Chain A
Amino acid sequence: MWRYLIPISIFIALAIVLAGGLHLKPGCIPSPLIGKPAPAFTLVKVEDPTQQISNKDFLGRKYLINVWGTWCVACRQEHEALLAIAKQGIVPIVGIDWKDDISLAQRWLNQLGNPYAGTGYDNEGRVAIDFGVYGAPETFLVDEQGKVLYKYVGVMTPEVWQNAFLPRINNTGAIKDSEGTTCS
């Protein structure tokens, strides 16, 4: 009897482990920045290249950092959602235009509308490396003390805003996933 039960139970255990593995997201890399100070940056402003934008200007309040680029299809998809978030006026969105052509970025903002309090032009990708960015779009939530609260990798949607960001911003409601990083 045992002789049959043992291989079958090993098989079932293995099947369960492997089935669990199918639901993993190996491409979703947890950010080591969660709970740590957001890297400081000062970049040329896309909206007005004679000016600069720094995230130090936003200390003292919660804000979003959204990494995007005109080459990024998913960024085009989330643009409406970002505009809606900006309209609510709960938190300012700081844009980082990553590895892009500044004139294309300007045209993008003029044509589609500008949800950003200001967008830094990160052509070299230096600031993106400091933030551990590995794909656009990525959105960070930074708290009043300048610490990174949360990172979301993927397309921002009204649902993600409602379920993942707002509870963390308002400190209310149950946060569904306690993880500091989630991916779409």
Chain B
Amino acid sequence: MFIKIFQSLFLAAMLAVPAWAIDSAPAFEDPVLLARYDNLTRQLRCLVCLNDSIADSNATLAGDLRHELREQLASGKSDDEVLKFMTDRYGAFVMYKPPFEARTWVLWLGPGIFLLGGLAIAIRIIIKRAKLPIEDNDSNNSSEGDIA
């Protein structure tokens, strides 16, 4: 019984999360516009707090940018137009996902380069080890530290 009540309370609390959204009223009645609005607010960085999107930030500037976003979407601007409006004013930094350009290629390709480098080293070591003569267990253990 108690578990049932707890479960339904928990479920209710989880479903009530949208009620704690930052702006008191939902941005749009229209679910399509609302989805676009939600998506855009998550793509844009709050420039005061740096590591929050404007969807998550309580900063006044983030509120102003959400307001701007709502008006532009309501007036029929496309997502690209809205994002261009923001990057024209705040630069690429306002986007959470930086564009691929001369300044950011290391950022985008770095992880892949490191992965390939690590893989190459691992393969080299494995091949080297495979070529070692097979010895009995005792001597193998003692020589393991020397393999590089």
A33 neighbours in B (Cβ, 8 Å) = 89
Instruction: Report how far A18 CA is from B88 CA in the complex, Å.
Output: 31
The answer to the question of B28 belonging to the interface, with a C-beta cut-off of 8 Å to chain A, is no
Q: Is the CB of B89 within 8 A of A132?
A: yes
- What separation, in Å, do the CA atoms of A126 and B61 have in the docked complex? 10
Q: Is A131's CB under 8 angstroms from B61's CB?
A: no
Inside 8 A of B61's CB, which chain A residues have their CB? 125, 128, 133-134
B1 within 8 A of A: no
A154, CB-defined interface residue at 8 Å: no
Q: Tell me the chain B residues, 68-85 only, with Cβ under 8 Å from chain A.
A: 68
Whether a CB of chain A sits under 8 angstroms from the CB of B148 is yes
Complex formed: what's the CA distance from A129 to B89 in Å? 7
User: What is the bound-complex CA distance between A124 and B64, given in angstroms?
Assistant: 8
> Is B68 touching A129 in the complex (CB atoms < 8 A)?
yes
Q: Which of A's residues lie within 8 Å of B, judged by CB?
A: 3, 26-27, 29-33, 99, 124-126, 128-135
Closest-CB distance, B63 to chain A (whole angstroms):
9
Interchain CB contact under 8 A, B91 and A29: yes
The secondary-structure label for the interface of chain B is helix
Q: Return the contact of B90 from the options A26, A27, A29, A125 (Cβ within 8 A).
A: A29
Known A29-B91, A126-B64, A134-B47; further 14 A-B contacts with Cβ < 8 A: A26-B50, A29-B47, A30-B91, A31-B91, A32-B87, A32-B89, A32-B90, A124-B64, A125-B64, A129-B68, A130-B89, A132-B90, A132-B91, A135-B47
Residue pairs across A and B with Cβ atoms less than 8 A apart, 15 shown, are A3-B148, A26-B50, A30-B91, A31-B91, A32-B87, A32-B88, A99-B64, A125-B64, A129-B64, A129-B68, A129-B89, A132-B91, A134-B48, A134-B61, A134-B90
> Which chain B residue lies CB-closest to A31?
B91
Interface status of B96 (Cβ within 8 A of chain A): no
Interface residues of B in 43-63 (CB under 8 A from A): 47-48, 50, 60-61
Tell me the complex Cα distance, A128–B65, Å.
11
